[in-house]
Chain A
Amino acid sequence: MITIALLGLPALAALFLLISRSAMAKQIALVATIAELVIAVVAAVQFAQNSSVQFLAEYGWIPSLGIDFKVGMDGISLLLVLLTAFLMPFIVYVSFKKKYDNQAAFYALLLLAQTGLIGVFTSLNGFLFYFFWEVVLIPVYFLAILWGGERRVAVTFKFFIYTVLGSFFMLLGFIYLYLQTPGGSFDITALQSLQLSRETQGWIFWAFFIAFAIKMPIFPFHTWQPDTYAESPVSVTMLLSALMVKMAVYGAFRWLLPVTPLAVEDWGNVVIILSVTGIIYASCIAIVQKNLRRLVAYASIAHVGLMAAGTFAFNSQGLQGAMFQMLSHGIGAVALFYVIELIYEKTGTMEIASLGGIMSKAPRLATIFLIFILSTVAMPLTNGFWGEFLLLLGVYKYSAVLGTISTLTIVLGAVYMLRMYQASVLGKASAATQNFEDITFQETLILSVLVVVIFWMGVQPGIFIDVAKPAIETMLSTATQTVLN
């Protein structure tokens, strides 16, 4: 029932906004997302820490094709639902000062995207998963194309075509799997208990992987991403980088690894090499970026690359690292884009060259910004550390060479992040930052919430790791058994 409430609340709120066209749209949206967070926390409290699927809700949908409306949460789903619910209030609030035309529609679309995300993270039926996977895309498409920057039309178009192209192959993969099940079913247990030949698994693997690789994005499927991040309204950039990227990693966790373990064994090395290449490639490009948002976009590719490498290393450390890093990266992305947006509001620019000297004018903002950056470069005591540590351990266990190369992510990450901080915050004030005012008390409070969570996860990572651990271990042992047989 809780799962249905989580799915229904944002959808109903969105519907209300669309019909009422209320002038209080943003406040209503904020209240709705906070209410959603409360429900998610209640779910987390009630959650029993084992590998089973809880809060199950199942209804017949298209019975003649074996398609049920079946949703529920295990530890992996729960953490991502919590992440979504926790970040959405920030994503809504960051646009509060923007003067958008047709506000009600803007916030309604954000809420619809939230329903879609929760749907992706809780679906236990392949068809339903695909359904939500595509449904998320529609509000995001309109948010980007209606409220984006100057080049929004061309950029959003590219993003949309790219992602839909990937999804169609995933659909084909699902159809194939569906036809292999006895009696025809899309249910997750039916799909996961399929015994497919090694060759078939290879085909299925690539059909799914292309969809996930485009969404994450993994090198060389990433070309849509920096432009889209730069041109979209800030809420959408946050939504894309903090949450929609996680759809793909989650998709691999739930629908790819358990269904095609033999193919992961065969093709894992290709994927990890691609991911590691992406890490180095994106990091190098990030170093020379001149725009704050684009820099964070490339940094994001690097971080996601490491997540993908850890996931497809397919061992306990890699998977748990990817799980933890999904949370850290989500929080980190929202945090960084939030600060960049604040700087942009005050100076009207995101160009690093025209900034500088913020530290002396706005010490509060500068300090918080530094904490966010340290979390991104995996400083111990912050959440970023545990995610990257476990991921690197996982990749290292898979291959010492690749693991060593991946370690460069921390070195290069420190280079581009600290360089950005140095150039935009330290030094002398420029023309743009001459009259820079520090953030208000309210803004400090909001950002402090993120700071607290960053340290909390950094000091007590066990609380979060333990939620998903049983589910991950069960998945891993089932898959290992299949491989051994």
Chain B
Amino acid sequence: MNALLVLSIAGIAALFSGFSNNKKLTFAIVLLALAAVFTVNALDWNTSVRHFNDMLFVDNYAVAFTGVMTLTTFFIFALFVDYKESVEVPNAEIFTLLFFSLAGGVMLVSYSNLLMLFLGIEILSIPLYILAGSKRHTLTSNEAAVKYFLLGAFASAFLLFGIVLIYGVTASFHIDTIAAYIKNTNGQTPALLVAGMFMLIAGLGFKISAAPFHFWTPDVYQGSPTIATTFMSTVVKTAGVGAFFRLFAYAFPAITAEWIPTLAVLAALTMTVGNVTAVFQSSVKRMLAYSGIAHAGYLLIALVSLSSNPASSVLYYLIAYSVSTVCAFAVLMVVQHVSGSEEVDGFKGLSKRSPFLAFITTVAFISLAGIPPTAGFFAKFYLFSGAVKAGHLWLTIIAVLNSCIAIYYYFRVITAVYSSGSDSAPVELGTVQKAVMIVTAVLAVALGLFPEMIISLL
């Protein structure tokens, strides 16, 4: 809860820091603020306190997910120091928007009342609608903002309608009360409640871009400034999956038969659509958008096998995914700037232009592809073993086949990096940018070698 307070204050402070034209001051303030959020959040570990009349329940689960989102945001802010793409919104305002969005994310992983779920989604999304359109004079950016906003509003309506239906049946917004109500019906779950639950699935599915609610993702990811795309594909996904997991683990564990088949189909569909479409992309940014969809599919498997997949497997997967994605986007930002395109061909000859960058790209994409010794591998392994344990062997086989497809397109980038390109000017990197790349790449390998420190958390 304190994290939420600090975040809100930080957002306002960042806004005012814009009055001074000292960019360095702004960066110092926002990075320090995030460090403060991280610390304050970590202090809540093992306290499990209910706040605001039991609207928020800050348990270890919430603390861990908040920690991941804060850390990811920290990396993204740091990347902004050497950011080259022109964004026609002052830096201070971008930070403010991201702070508020992060606050929405924190609510999403710590709610115990469906109203907070709805509020969280809105607070998370509205700043992102603005950010998506922040390249005001670019057509694609405008398109991204309009698409994201219209479809997002549509999804929110579904979510709200679902909440209302559930309220109509159970007379409560509180997830524990809802769970207790379902338990008392002894298998005779009212159809309205199930309908409400499916609407929640649709609304949340939109946020984590699960198929068939994913159509906005590629256009929005591609049109938005890369820094916003990075935030959307990491922090927003973490928040959305966190909310999803919390909802089904706390509110609907008694009626698994109602939602497991649906989610299993969604998972299979999401993985397949994401991976197969990613194969045909020539733009790396768009490819990462589809790969993000695919990863949402793998994460849905964790939800389907909730009985044997502990929260730690979702947490570990999200950490591995976030770290590798931030690393990949960090490289993409540089390549975009120096080669003027975000196509796979833009990566050609990178190993000659900057061996360092080539190495970082390799680590990031190997981790996304899920090959040892990286975190991406252990994440998949851990998640798949949970799924097999829960008896979803077929779903796991589909996931394994999908992982093979994924290797194809991830390695296309790595292969491009090491093939010869036309341009040979060396690439200059900013210090902070370099530091972020090193830290995320090291994390991607270190977490893969020593996963115990994360999986024993939850």
Residues of A whose CB lies within 8 Å of any CB of B are 61-65, 102, 127, 130-131, 134-135, 137-138, 142, 145-146, 153, 156-157, 160-161, 164-165, 168-169, 171-172, 175-176, 178-179
CB pair A179–B388 under 8 Å, yes or no, is yes
Identify the interface centre among A127, A130, A135, A145: most chain B CB within 10 Å of its CB. Answer: A145
- Chain B interface main SS type: helix
Contact of A138 among B355, B371, B388, B389 (CB under 8 A): B371
Contact of B373 among A102, A131, A176 (CB under 8 A): A131
A176 to B415, CA, bound (A): 33
CB pair A138–B366 under 8 Å, yes or no, is yes
Given contacts A63-B452, A172-B396, contact A161 B411 (CB under 8 A): yes
B window 384-443: CB within 8 A of A: 384-385, 388-389, 393, 396-397, 400, 403-404, 407-408, 411-412, 415, 418-419
Nearest-CB distance from B367 to chain A (Å)? 12
A161 to B412, CA, bound (A): 11
A61 to B449, CA, bound (A): 9
CB pair A64–B411 under 8 Å, yes or no, is no
Given contacts A134-B372, A153-B415, contact A62 B400 (CB under 8 A): no
CB pair A168–B415 under 8 Å, yes or no, is no
A137 to B411, CA, bound (A): 13
- Chain A interface main SS type: helix
Given contacts A134-B371, A165-B404, contact A175 B381 (CB under 8 A): yes
Residues of B whose CB lies within 8 Å of any CB of A are 351, 355, 362, 366, 371-373, 377, 381-382, 384-385, 388-389, 393, 396-397, 400, 403-404, 407-408, 411-412, 415, 418-419, 451-452, 455-456
23 contacts between A and B (CB under 8 A): A64-B452, A65-B382, A65-B385, A65-B455, A102-B355, A131-B372, A138-B371, A142-B362, A145-B415, A153-B418, A160-B407, A160-B411, A161-B404, A161-B408, A164-B371, A164-B407, A168-B403, A168-B404, A172-B400, A175-B385, A175-B388, A175-B396, A178-B385
A127 to B384, CA, bound (A): 14
Chain A minimum-CB-distance residue to B416: A153
CB pair A172–B397 under 8 Å, yes or no, is yes
Given contacts A157-B411, A172-B384, contact A179 B455 (CB under 8 A): no
Nearest-CB distance from B145 to chain A (Å)? 38
A164 to B407, CA, bound (A): 8
Complex contacts, A168 vs chain B, CB 8 Å: 400, 403-404
Complex contacts, B411 vs chain A, CB 8 Å: 157, 160-161
A157 to B410, CA, bound (A): 11
Given contacts A135-B373, A168-B403, contact A62 B455 (CB under 8 A): yes
A157 to B408, CA, bound (A): 8
CB pair B419–A153 under 8 Å, yes or no, is yes
Identify the interface centre among A63, A130, A161, A168: most chain B CB within 10 Å of its CB. Answer: A168
A157 to B418, CA, bound (A): 12
Complex contacts, A130 vs chain B, CB 8 Å: 372
Complex contacts, A169 vs chain B, CB 8 Å: 400
Given contacts A64-B456, A172-B397, contact A134 B377 (CB under 8 A): yes
Nearest-CB distance from A209 to chain B (Å)? 16
Nearest-CB distance from A298 to chain B (Å)? 26
11 other A-B residue contacts (CB within 8 Å) besides A62-B455, A130-B372: A64-B455, A135-B372, A137-B371, A153-B415, A161-B411, A164-B407, A165-B404, A171-B381, A171-B400, A175-B388, A179-B385
CB pair B404–A164 under 8 Å, yes or no, is yes
Given contacts A65-B455, A171-B381, A172-B397, contact A157 B373 (CB under 8 A): no
A153 to B419, CA, bound (A): 7
Nearest-CB distance from B57 to chain A (Å)? 25
Question: Which 6 residue pairs of A and B lie closest in terms of their CB atoms, listed nearest first?
Answer: A134-B372, A175-B385, A165-B404, A168-B400, A62-B452, A131-B372
CB pair A179–B407 under 8 Å, yes or no, is no
CB pair A161–B407 under 8 Å, yes or no, is yes
Complex contacts, A137 vs chain B, CB 8 Å: 371
Chain A minimum-CB-distance residue to B451: A62
A153 to B414, CA, bound (A): 10
Complex contacts, B400 vs chain A, CB 8 Å: 168-169, 171-172
Chain B minimum-CB-distance residue to A157: B415
Chain B minimum-CB-distance residue to A60: B452
Given contacts A153-B419, A172-B396, contact A61 B371 (CB under 8 A): no
A138 to B456, CA, bound (A): 29
Nearest-CB distance from B424 to chain A (Å)? 14
Nearest-CB distance from B325 to chain A (Å)? 20
Complex contacts, B396 vs chain A, CB 8 Å: 172, 175
Complex contacts, A146 vs chain B, CB 8 Å: 351, 418
Nearest-CB distance from A160 to chain B (Å)? 6
A161 to B401, CA, bound (A): 12
Chain B minimum-CB-distance residue to A172: B400
Complex contacts, A65 vs chain B, CB 8 Å: 382, 385, 455
Complex contacts, B419 vs chain A, CB 8 Å: 153
Complex contacts, B366 vs chain A, CB 8 Å: 138
A157 to B381, CA, bound (A): 23
